[in-house]
Amino acid sequence: MGRCRVALLIAPLVLVPSLSVAQTHRTDDSVIHRLWTEGMERSRVEPLAQALIDSIGPRLSGSPGYLAATDWLVRTYEGWGVPARREQYGTWRGWRLGPVHADLVAPRVQTLVAHLLAWSAGTSGPVEGDVVVPPEGLEPGDVDRWLAGARGAWVLVSPPEAMCRAPQELERFARPETTARLADHQRSVETGWRRRFAPFGPSLLARFEAAGVAGFLTSNWSGGWGVNKVQSGPAMVGAMLDLSCEDYALLARLAERNQGPRLRVDATAEDLGEVAMFNVVAELKGTALPNEYVLLSAHLDSWHSATGATDNGTGTITMLEAMRILRAVYPNPRRTILVGHWGGEEQGLIGSAAFAEDHPDVVEGLQALFNQDNGTWRVDTLEAQGFARAGEHLARWMALVPAEIADHVSLSAPGAQANTGSDHVSFLCRGAPAFRLQSAYPEYRQYTWHTNLDTYDKIVFDDLRENATLAAMLAYAASEDPERVPRDRVVLPINPRTGQPRDWARCGRVRRTSGRP
């Protein structure tokens, strides 16, 4: 449907109308009461999360862990009497990660915190070599000679951090001039690092590999205590390890001062070839409007250096538990209620986009989608995503939700499409009403999003229980709504970079394979 040409609308966040539990119980809507009881008093979020996060663990696309998680979801749904299926949407590079161990062995001994980057090659047993970095001032004519001397060495390829202290601690406790001096020093380090590698040209990693280096060392510090972003490295590169912020900086200092650092690495990884990738879809069939849909949405895949607890184990459990609650209380919905556990979100919203492309009937019949993908805290915002009249429906649905939950949720309508980085966009770009159950962000971004600290202990189960109950109530309310959510759009707010209204979310090409040779 084309964009509705109306005046630019930017509404402030407005507290969603809500009723207290007592008020809710005085209505004729006994279903809300029973959803509350099932979700808040008989919650299963803890055992479900423990099984997924601890027992299955990381769920990298193409890994055995991801496939195990899809099997577990189907078994769990079927055990509750909810029809569920795996839908193959494509393939991805298969990879099995084994033990990884890295030790400094000279000039002293120290075990380091290390992770292989996703889909990296292993080492085929322990490999020991010097730790090197190109010197400053290396002339292009000297590159080949330096590369010959780097054979069998571990190469530092990213600039080290001057300090691995969380920046908010510096802002709180350090002198302003200290903070400024550290920032200037870091900028100088990064500029110098670029100069070190400039003589090698744009294909520097390939040149290093051709020269026979042992592998590559990098560090992508997240800005918090002991935490790195650990994702994937460049395609077709050998063993590449992420080291913790200070372990990496230690090696850099030793190498720059010619103090003879040597590293022993034993990293096990197996290339499994191109393997099938699946979404998991479960369904409660609608009794009155089976070809209209309410879709609960969360991605199942994760990165691999931790167990993917908050990205997106919490979203997965929210929607899994919501379906359990609905099956127990509201098994015969008016509209069909689906849940999609998507694969390949971390590689570009692949699973959800493939589902939307493969199921135009669901997109056409979509009453509402609710997506959750932003950490452990309770939902605090619902945005109407630029749909001109969706706010009326969201407010009406939220009015059924007890105050203990609803009082913490704000409604932004018509909304600015403030966050377009998750699976709701695969439907939003096709003009379908797709909403995001948004939670507070800063600590999640710093400490658990794509990091080595995204583990079970970070889950706040009181919030997770509440989020699952909210998702179930919204699904019920959207299913029972006598009206369809209209799809006419507002003009989005001004993009400050262009001075023009922001573009509506656009659908990209669905990448269904890893594209490896």
Q: Are residues 163 and 307 in the same domain?
A: no
Q: What is the CATH number of the domain that holds 444?
A: 3.40.630.10
Domain boundary (270, 304, 330) is at 270
Q: What are the residues facing 381 on neighbouring strands?
A: 410, 438
Instruction: Quote the CA–CA distance of 452 and 459 in Å, as a whole number.
Output: 15
Asked if residue 470 and residue 414 are part of one domain, the reply reads yes
Cβ–Cβ contacts within 10 Å for residue 31, how many? 17
Please report the pLDDT score of residue 517 as a whole number: 62
Identify whether residues 291 and 254 lie together within a single domain: no
Asked if residue 280 belongs to a domain, the reply is: no
> Does any domain span residue 505?
no
pLDDT of residue 142: 94
Same domain? For 346 and 374 the reply is yes
Tokens coding 25: 């119980």
Q: Over its length of 517 residues, how does the chain's per-residue pLDDT go in tens digits? A: 332 322 223 333 333 333 333 333 334 589 999 999 999 999 999 999 999 999 999 999 999 999 999 999 999 999 999 999 999 999 999 999 999 999 999 999 999 999 999 999 999 999 999 999 999 999 999 999 999 999 999 999 999 999 999 999 999 999 999 999 999 999 999 999 999 999 999 999 999 999 999 999 999 999 999 999 999 988 778 899 999 999 999 999 999 999 999 999 999 999 999 999 999 999 999 999 999 999 999 999 999 999 999 999 999 999 999 999 999 999 999 999 999 999 999 999 999 999 999 999 999 999 999 999 988 899 999 999 999 999 999 999 999 999 999 999 999 999 999 888 999 999 999 999 999 999 987 899 999 999 999 999 999 999 999 999 999 999 999 999 999 999 999 999 988 888 888 899 999 999 999 987 6
Last residue of a domain, one of 241, 270, 299: 270
Contact 136, 196 (CB under 8 A): yes
In sequence order, the 6+-apart residues with CB closer than 8 A to the CB of 9 are: 388, 414, 490, 491
User: Other C-beta atoms within 10 Å of 368: how many?
Assistant: 27
- Residue 513 in domain: no
SS3 377: coil
Which residue among 270, 301, 320 closes a domain?
A: 270
Tell me, yes or no, whether 418 lies in a domain: yes
223 shares a domain with 124: yes
- Within a domain: 275: no
**434 assigned to some structural domain:** yes
* Tokens of residue 201, six digits: 């040209």
> Burial code of 442-460, b = ≥16 C-beta within 10 A, e = fewer?
eebebbbbbbbbbbbebbb
pTM of the model: 0.93
Q: Is residue 501 part of a domain?
A: no
Residue 138 to residue 135: CA distance in whole angstroms? 6
The verdict on 53 and 156 lying in the same domain is: no
Q: Do 452 and 325 belong to one domain?
A: yes
Q: Facing residues of 396 across strands? A: none
- The whole domain housing 318 covers 14-83+285-492
Q: Residue with structure tokens 């070839």?
A: 273
Looking at the fold, whether 63 and 26 belong to one and the same domain comes out as yes
Pair 301, 385 in one domain:
yes
Residue 26 has a pLDDT of 34
400 plus 463 within the same structural domain: yes
Is residue 468 domain-resident? yes
Question: What domain count does the chain have?
Answer: 2
Strands 289-299 vs 366-371: parallel, antiparallel or unpaired: parallel
pLDDT for the residue numbered 467 = 98
318 with 408, same domain: the answer is yes
Is residue 77 domain-shared with residue 218, that is, in the same domain?
A: no
Note the pLDDT of residue 429: 97
CB of 277 closer than 8 Å to CB of 59: no
Token output for 240: 């590449």
Question: For the domain that residue 231 is a member of, what is the CATH number?
Answer: 3.50.30.30
> Hey, what are 385's tokens?
């995503």
